[in-house]
Structure 1
Amino acid sequence: MNDLTTDQLIRNSKVILMAFLSFFGLLVMYSNFIDYSTNYEYVGHILSMDTTRENTNISYRAITSPMLHHRIYWIIITLEVMYTAYCLMGTYQLFKNRHATADVFHESKKLSIVGLLIAIFVYYVCLQVIGVEWFNMDESQVWNAKDWARHVVDFILPLLIYLTLKIER
């Protein structure tokens, strides 16, 4: 441990945290492909707004077409595959360049940053903004992932900030 400098520890911590998020993405992808029907059912209920309180002022927002449910769910899956792929490639780039110069290491963050931004889009924009604010997901007693999505964003956003800081020497 005495041979490990603070700078090396900071670089390695960025690699490890990106590996954690990449692993999370792999598990999400696995779940979506292995248990498609359960996750599709969740998306369908949120889009249909059939488990939220009846509100005639906003009921026009509901999307009740099963075909559109599948298409929207596949868009979500595609975005999850994209962020996971970018995070995995970014983790590899960080790992490969962890002993490089500060500038080279900093430049190797690009793919990780793209992956984190896509992940924030999925969990913040799609679930928390569109799901909660447009489709009233937070009013559903059964199909509410607002808090879960917030916990995911609560990990991703500080990771994005930490990763982008150029504090390595």
Structure 2
Amino acid sequence: MSQLTTSQVIRFSKATLMLFISFFGLLMLYSNFTDYATNYEYLAHILSMDTTSDSQKYSYRAITSAMLHHRIYWLIITLEVVYTIFCALGTYYLYKNINAGLGEFHEAKKPALIGLLIALALYYVGFQVIGVEWFNMDESQTWNYKDWARQIVDFIFLLLIFIAMKIER
């Protein structure tokens, strides 16, 4: 039995962490498709700004159209599908190239990096920037994804850095 090297552990860690984020994406999709109404209601309240303090002061920012709520929700679901596919492909390529040369393993990271970037755009720009800063989501006591989104962004951002780094040999 051969000795496991640090480089092998790093490669395995990168592939496995990508597996974790792919699994998260699949769970998010499952939740959005099987419990569409609950998740839609959450998003509709955020976009309508009907539970935020000072809702009158910022009412010009609110989106109250149910049709737009559905379209924005489907945009979110579409972005989740896309990032999950890229992350799953990245996971596959990383495992497939786990014993390949340094250059081949590094090139295998492309789909993973694309998926993570899309996920970061969705959860950081979509929820933390637009949701919190534009729709004042953080001011709602009931309909608030701020802390949840921050935890996801923290994981994805660190994972993006870890995957991109060329520290394995």
The TM-score by the shorter chain falls in which range?
over 0.9
The corresponding residue for 2:77 is 77
2:95 aligned with 1:132:
no
Q: How many residues align?
A: 169
Give the deviation of 1:28 after TM superposition.
0.3
Q: How far did residue 57 of structure 1 move?
A: 3.5
Q: Which residue of 1 aligns with 2:110?
A: 110
In the TM superposition, residue 2 of structure 1 has moved relative to its aligned partner by 6.1
8 A Cα contact 2:49 2:55, kept in partner: no
What's the CA shift for 1:93? 0.5
Q: Secondary structure at the match of 1:64?
A: coil
- The alignment's TM-score, normalised by the length of structure 1, stands at 0.97
Shift, 1:50, TM fit: 0.3
1:3 is displaced (CA, Å) by 1.5
| Structure 1 residue identity aligned to 2:15 | V
Q: Distance in 2 between matches of 1:55 and 1:29?
A: 31
The one-letter code matched in structure 2 to 1:91 is T
Alpha-carbon distance in 1 for matches of 2:85, 2:61: 32
Whether 2:35 is the aligned partner of 1:35: answer: yes
Indicate the residue corresponding to 1:153 in structure 2: 153
User: CA shift at 1:56, angstroms?
Assistant: 3.6
Paired AA for residue 38 in structure 2: T
* Match of residue 58 from structure 1: 58
**3-state SS of paired residue (2:51):** coil
Q: State the superposition RMSD in angstroms.
A: 1.0
1: CA distance, partners of 2:80 / 2:55? 31
Deviation at 1:167, TM superposition (A): 1.1
Q: CA deviation at 1:110?
A: 0.2
Instruction: State the 1:22 CA deviation.
Output: 0.4
Q: Structure 1: which 5+ runs fail to align?
A: none
User: Could you tell me which residue of structure 1 aligns to residue 143 of structure 2?
Assistant: 143
Shift in Å at residue 96 of structure 1? 0.3
Partner AA of 2:156 in structure 1? I
- Structure 1: distance between partners of 2:56 and 2:156: 36
**Deviation, structure 1 residue 58:** 1.8
How far is 1:70 from its partner? 0.2
2:17 & 2:161 partners in 1: Cα distance? 12
| Alpha-carbon distance in 1 for matches of 2:140, 2:57 | 17
Note the C-alpha offset of 1:60: 0.1
Query: What amino acid is the match of 1:116?
Result: L
Distance in 1, Cα, partners of 2:75 & 2:55 = 27
Q: Distance in 1 between matches of 2:135 and 2:76?
A: 16
Alignment of 1:46 with 2:46, yes or no, is yes
Shift of 1:158: 0.6
Matched residue of 2:120: which SS?
Answer: helix
Q: Deviations over 1:36-76 (max 9, x none)?
A: 00000011000000010134432100000000000000000
Looking at structure 2, the residues matched to 29 and 75 of structure 1 have their Cα atoms a distance apart, in angstroms, of 12
Gaps of 5+ in 2: none
